[in-house]
Amino acid sequence: MTITSFHPPRRTLMGPGPSDVSDRVLQAMARPTVGHLDPSFVGMMDETKQLLQYVFQTQNELTFAVSAPGSAGMECCFANLIERGDKVIVCQNGVFGGRMKENVERCGGIAVMVQDDWGTAVDPVKVEEALIAHADACLLAFVHAETSTGAQSDAKTLVGLAHKYDCLTIVDAVTSLAGTPLKVDEWGIDAIYSGSQKCLSASPGLSPVSFNQRAADKIQNRTSKVQSWFLDLNLVMGYWGGEGKRAYHHTAPVNCLYGLHESLVIVQEEGLENSWARHHKNHLALRDGLEQLGINFIVPEQDRLPQLNAVTIPEGVDDALVRTRLLNEHDLEIGAGLGSLAGKVWRIGLMGHASSQKNVDFCLNALKLVL
């Protein structure tokens, strides 16, 4: 056995994530590692918190990046906010609502499912019916931007309903953050998680999260310990928490955080609203081009996510072969279908750094050549 250094190909990443990481972010990750309690690093963490507050549009004190991918950010929200026997209303309109159910049940909670067709938005009418039927529920959980289908739900309305019936909310914003309007404070979201590798275009491995005071109070007033030591916010807060106070909890992924910091600086330079507008504009250009190729979206127009375009695979076309040819002949990655949509759809991402007119043109041209 002699294994040598790995040199990956340079792809154009237009799948459901990771998205293309810019050279600026890659170079930031290659800067010298410092200790996770080094004053210079602690200063960078403070800045990262401020930048995350900006992209989440929140003043929440408890805003930071979980030291693991989005799945762990999801688990962080559920494990901290659920105690045994808690009833949670979970909306499912794709793969990730199902993962929420798994999380609720593994935390000892009871999941009440509200089902909607894959490719449609969560229906607020059904949600209100469930909230009325389950007056003992304490949480509502839903996915803002379903990465498996490309459908966007009306987070503001759903959060309003939850609060009307005295429930806190957990919102999956893995694919929405920085790609489509998301306003944590204005909409009253109580707990939210995202990923570094979608519209922020940092490398995968970190999960930005934010909790408002109501959520933080619930966590601090738990009668049982959080079942995960690694994700216990009562402990993590000691590290990411108040000024000057940095208790050792775990070793932070230093270089990954350099990359996230740089990706957030880039969003700040562009301006969040400009980022949303860019994602929208490039989505429209891709849509027009796909329609000219006779390729149709699975999500009704008003619910489409600009950063994740799920389209029906044209009849008679070999799904895997096309994706393999795109990869081998054009170094272009687009996404396969997930769950019940496997083999039926492609997911074309225009996320973060990858959302550009250049990529739209490139993808459309490559598809034309391969189909």
Stretch near its own copies under the rule CB under 8 A, chosen from 66-74, 182-190, 295-303, 363-371: 66-74
Q: Is residue 139 a contact residue for its own copies (CB under 8 A)?
A: no
The answer to whether residue 6 forms part of the interface with its own copies (CB under 8 A) is: yes
58 binds its own copies per the rule CB under 8 A: no
262 binds its own copies (CB under 8 A): yes
Which one of 63-71, 180-188, 211-219, 291-299 is the stretch in contact with its own copies (CB under 8 A)?
63-71
Cα 242 from Cα 224, distance rounded (Å) = 24
Q: What is the 3-state secondary structure (H, E, C) of the chain?
A: CCCCCCCCCCCEEECCCCCCCCHHHHHHHCCCCCCCCCHHHHHHHHHHHHHHHHHHCCCCCEEEEECCCHHHHHHHHHHHHCCCCCEEEEEECCHHHHHHHHHHHHCCCEEEEEECCCCCCCCHHHHHHHHHHCCCCCEEEEECEECCCCEECCHHHHHHHHHHCCCEEEEECCCCCCCCCCCHHHHCCCEEECCCCCCCCCCCCCEEEEECHHHHHHHHCCCCCCCCCCCCHHHHHHHHCCCCCCCCCCCCCHHHHHHHHHHHHHHHHHCHHHHHHHHHHHHHHHHHHHHHCCCCECCCHHHEECCEEEEECCCCCCHHHHHHHHHHHHCEEEEECCHHHCCCEEEEECCHHHCCHHHHHHHHHHHHHHC
Segment 179 to 238, residues that bind its own copies, using CB under 8 A: 195, 197, 203-205, 225-230
Q: How far is the CB of 114 from its own copies (least distance, A)?
A: 20
Residues 62, 168, 256, 363: which binds its own copies (CB under 8 A)? Answer: 256
The least distance separating its own copies from the CB of residue 227, rounded to whole angstroms, comes to 5
Q: Which of 261, 278, 283, 287 binds its own copies (CB under 8 A)?
A: 261
- In the bound state with its own copies, the residue whose beta carbon lies nearer, of 204 and 241, is 204
Q: Does 50 bind its own copies (CB under 8 A)?
A: yes
Q: How far is the CB of 83 from its own copies (least distance, A)?
A: 13
CB of 5 to its own copies, least distance (A): 6
Report if residue 102 touches its own copies, rule: CB under 8 A.
yes
Beta pairing, strands 207-211 & 191-193: antiparallel
User: Which of 41, 239, 276, 346: binder of its own copies (CB under 8 A)?
Assistant: 41
Q: Which is nearer to its own copies, 68 or 162 (CB)?
A: 68
Shortest spacing between CB 34 and its own copies, in angstroms = 5
Tokens representing 308 are 């994740």
Q: Is 105 one of the binding residues for its own copies (CB under 8 A)? A: yes
CB atoms within 10 A of CB 122: 26
Is residue 70 involved in binding its own copies (CB under 8 A)? yes
Q: Among 219, 252, 272, 364, which residue interacts with its own copies (rule: CB under 8 A)?
A: 252
Q: Which is nearer to its own copies, 68 or 91 (CB)?
A: 68
Scanning residues 296 to 335, which ones bind its own copies (CB under 8 A)? 327, 333
> Is residue 113 within the footprint of its own copies (CB under 8 A)?
no
Within 147-186, which residues bind its own copies (CB under 8 A)? none
